[in-house]
């Protein structure tokens, strides 16, 4: 390690300064792990919680779940579950004993330890949009994802302090061959951001490569990597009632090394789940809990989360709907069950809208407020998602970040403080009837931090807004997006670690990357 690198590591140095300078496009909120101060919204009474719990347990003990990974089937059998081919049935006693092993809260520490996140309790973190095959922006419209667009979204992910996690690929870069895509993508994620990253559970090689890259980027020994959570994966079941091979394989690999696994069934009521929301939630829980039970049997105490992705289809067209009243209630109900099981919860910021317009924002608002109401700990797709997850949009990303910042501000206890200074009787006496509070000392002492300061919202009156070009929200967001990308500077990184990462990627590419017949 040369002196220059050393200096950077100690102080942030020039690169650290650049990073700070790079955030000057916007006056955004500082990094924080928000703490949800609201009592959760609970549509179910205690009997309702038990009814859904018992439903999930009866699904697992009477109907069973297809486990398409032979090792996993063998492990379930060893644990005393009833195995018939790929069908595994497990009883409540086993499932609850396994769930009792799971931690209620854990951390994940990325290469920059200041970006450590807490998952569980009342903590809440926001993840960028993950996995759309397409991108849309105002200039280029809808198109397939590519690597350049991927990098743009990774820069947005790093830029916004209200985004805590660089989750799945914000858009799928189809111009990179699938055998090496994970190498190129993770290299960008680990160098353009210093936030927690994610591995897709799509075959052993990808998962092992990503774990190794996270280890290298952090300058960690293997023992240091294994000592605590450094990254995570998210797996989906194939609803109804099936866990496929690659997802289970990746989940077991991570669990064995103490890295967190989020299990998120995707249950659309009326399609791959019952048309009744309680049934869809019970099915989703059965699928999620079965995988968590497996992981806790393999590695007692390994960090896991239960995810919810229960929405409904439009019964006229079969199209998935998001941010609906049914979606909100399903998320709240799953939150109640997650607390019943003492598991951290993942939900999402979602919409069915195709472009970042009014519909997009009311659907997204509904889903983000449902994440607050359900005491969600990790909000996937919190910024940038459109068309039910088929499109990632930079304008939507920025518009969503405004909502996320408002949620963060909403949680600040200072807003609802009621000390004598907050009641402000002296100021009210001083200003008196008919007066004005702009000039009084009580206001002067507090005005700089008293209120939420917007990023992309325009609070001017119509005439001022019109003279300035009558720019609608989506166009304002587009301009900010271009400016952020143009002025982006990557966070500081140890050069030795970067070079080792480059060597690893080169070597693995030479070896052919990962097989693509998974």
The residues in 297-316 that bind its own copies, with binding defined as CB under 8 A, are 312-316
Residues with Cβ within 8 Å of 354's Cβ and at least 6 positions away in sequence, in order, are 136, 386, 387, 391
Q: Contact region for its own copies (CB under 8 A) — 50-58, 173-181, 192-200, 501-509?
A: 50-58
Q: Contact region for its own copies (CB under 8 A) — 166-174, 202-210, 386-394, 484-492?
A: 386-394
**Is residue 245 a contact residue for its own copies (CB under 8 A)?**
no
Nearer to its own copies, 314 or 499 (CB): 314
The residues in 141-170 that bind its own copies, with binding defined as CB under 8 A, are 142
**Is residue 328 a contact residue for its own copies (CB under 8 A)?**
yes
What does DSSP say about strands 304-307 and 345-348: parallel, antiparallel, or unpaired? parallel
C-alpha 379/C-alpha 483 separation (Å) is 26
Size, binding site for its own copies by CB under 8 A: 131
**Is residue 4 a contact residue for its own copies (CB under 8 A)?**
no
The residues in 351-370 that bind its own copies, with binding defined as CB under 8 A, are 352-366, 369
Out of 25, 59, 305, 345, name the contact with its own copies by CB under 8 A: 59
Over the window 201 to 240, marking each residue x when it contacts its own copies by CB under 8 A and - when it does not, the resulting string is -------------------------------------x-x
Q: Contact region for its own copies (CB under 8 A) — 9-17, 104-112, 202-210, 273-281?
A: 273-281
Q: Token pair of 163, please?
A: 């985004």
C-alpha 249/C-alpha 245 separation (Å) is 6
Q: How many helices (H) and strands (E) does the chain have?
A: 20, 21
The residues in 455-484 that bind its own copies, with binding defined as CB under 8 A, are 456-462, 465-466, 470, 472-474, 477
CB 148 within 8 A of CB 186: no
Q: Contact region for its own copies (CB under 8 A) — 114-122, 157-165, 415-423, 479-487?
A: 415-423
Alpha helix (H) ranges present in 140-274?
147-159, 178-192, 204-217, 222-227, 245-256
Cβ-based neighbour number of residue 499 at 10 Å: 11
Report the alpha-carbon angle 165-167-170, nearest 5: 120
Minimum CB separation from its own copies for residue 171, in Å? 14
**Is residue 441 a contact residue for its own copies (CB under 8 A)?**
no
Nearer to its own copies, 442 or 509 (CB): 442
Give the helix/strand (H/E) hosting 346.
strand 345-348
**Is residue 22 a contact residue for its own copies (CB under 8 A)?**
no
Q: Token pair of 421, please?
A: 């200074």
Q: What are phi and psi of 378, to 5 degrees?
A: -135, 120
Q: Contact region for its own copies (CB under 8 A) — 8-16, 103-111, 168-176, 318-326?
A: 318-326
Minimum CB separation from its own copies for residue 160, in Å? 16
**Is residue 442 a contact residue for its own copies (CB under 8 A)?**
yes
- Cβ-count burial 261-287 (b if 16+ within 10 Å, e if not): bbbbbbbbbbbbbbeebbbbbbbbbbb
C-alpha 473/C-alpha 468 separation (Å) is 13
Q: Token pair of 448, please?
A: 């700089």
Q: Token pair of 273, please?
A: 């789940």
Out of 20, 227, 300, 451, name the contact with its own copies by CB under 8 A: 451
Nearer to its own copies, 44 or 118 (CB): 44
The residues in 92-121 that bind its own copies, with binding defined as CB under 8 A, are none
**Is residue 272 a contact residue for its own copies (CB under 8 A)?**
yes
Nearer to its own copies, 39 or 140 (CB): 39
Minimum CB separation from its own copies for residue 230, in Å? 33
Q: Is 433 exposed, middle or buried (0-12, 13-18, 19+ CB in 10 A)?
A: exposed
Q: How many residues does the chain have?
A: 518
Residues with Cβ within 8 Å of 58's Cβ and at least 6 positions away in sequence, in order, are none
Nearer to its own copies, 184 or 287 (CB): 287
Give the helix/strand (H/E) hosting 233.
strand 232-235
The residues in 66-85 that bind its own copies, with binding defined as CB under 8 A, are 66
C-alpha 106/C-alpha 491 separation (Å) is 25
Minimum CB separation from its own copies for residue 134, in Å? 8
Residues with Cβ within 8 Å of 157's Cβ and at least 6 positions away in sequence, in order, are 128, 163, 166, 170, 193, 195
Nearer to its own copies, 461 or 510 (CB): 461
Out of 166, 217, 282, 306, name the contact with its own copies by CB under 8 A: 282
């Amino acid at each position: 390690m040369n002196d220059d690198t050393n200096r950077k590591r100690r102080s942030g140095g020039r690169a650290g300064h650049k990073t700070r300078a790079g955030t000057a496009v916007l006056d955004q909120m500082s990094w924080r792990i928000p703490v949800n101060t609201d009592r959760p919204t609970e549509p179910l009474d205690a009997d309702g919680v038990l009814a859904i719990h018992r439903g999930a347990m009866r699904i697992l003990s009477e109907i069973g779940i297809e486990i398409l990974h032979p090792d996993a089937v063998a492990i379930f059998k060893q644990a005393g579950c009833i195995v018939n081919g790929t069908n595994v049935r497990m009883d409540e006693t086993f499932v609850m004993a396994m769930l009792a092993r799971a931690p209620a809260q854990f951390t994940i520490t990325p290469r920059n330890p200041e970006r450590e996140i807490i998952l569980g309790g009342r903590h809440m973190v926001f993840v960028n949009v993950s996995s759309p095959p397409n991108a849309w922006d105002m200039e280029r419209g809808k198109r397939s994802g590519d690597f350049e667009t991927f990098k743009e979204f990774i820069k947005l992910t790093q830029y916004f302090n209200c985004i805590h996690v660089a989750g799945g690929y914000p858009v799928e870069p189809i111009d990179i061959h699938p055998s090496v895509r994970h190498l190129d993508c993770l290299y960008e994620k680990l160098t353009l951001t210093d936030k927690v990253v994610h591995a897709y559970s799509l075959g052993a090689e990808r998962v092992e490569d990503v774990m190794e890259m996270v280890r290298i980027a952090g300058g960690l020994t293997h023992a240091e990597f294994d000592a605590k959570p450094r990254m995570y994966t998210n797996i989906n079941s194939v609803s109804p009632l099936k866990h496929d091979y690659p997802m289970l394989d990746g989940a077991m690999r991570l669990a064995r090394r103490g890295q967190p696994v989020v299990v998120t069934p995707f249950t659309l009521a009326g399609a791959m789940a019952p048309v009744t929301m309680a049934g869809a939630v019970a099915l989703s829980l059965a699928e999620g809990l079965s995988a968590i039970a497996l992981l806790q049997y393999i590695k007692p105490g390994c960090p896991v989360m239960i995810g919810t992705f229960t929405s409904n289809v439009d019964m006229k067209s079969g199209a998935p709907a998001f941010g609906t009243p049914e979606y909100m209630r399903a998320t709240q109900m799953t939150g109640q069950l997650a607390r019943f099981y003492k598991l951290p919860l993942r939900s999402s910021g979602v919409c069915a809208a195709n472009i970042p317009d009014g519909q997009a924002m009311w659907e997204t608002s509904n889903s983000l407020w449902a994440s607050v109401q359900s005491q969600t700990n990790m909000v996937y797709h919190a910024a940038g998602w459109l068309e039910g997850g088929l499109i990632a949009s930079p304008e939507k990303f920025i518009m969503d970040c405004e909502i996320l910042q408002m949620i963060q501000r909403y949680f600040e206890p200072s807003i609802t403080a009621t000390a004598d200074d907050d009641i402000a009787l002296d100021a009210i006496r001083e200003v008196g009837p008919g007066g004005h509070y702009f000039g009084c000392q009580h206001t002067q002492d507090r005005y700089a931090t008293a209120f939420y300061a917007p990023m992309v919202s325009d609070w001017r009156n119509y005439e001022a807004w019109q003279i300035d070009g009558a720019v609608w929200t989506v166009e304002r967001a587009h301009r900010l997006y271009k400016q952020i990308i143009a002025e982006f500077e990557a966070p500081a990184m140890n050069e030795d670690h970067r070079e080792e990462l480059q060597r690893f990627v080169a070597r693995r590419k030479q070896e052919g990357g990962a097989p693509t017949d998974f």
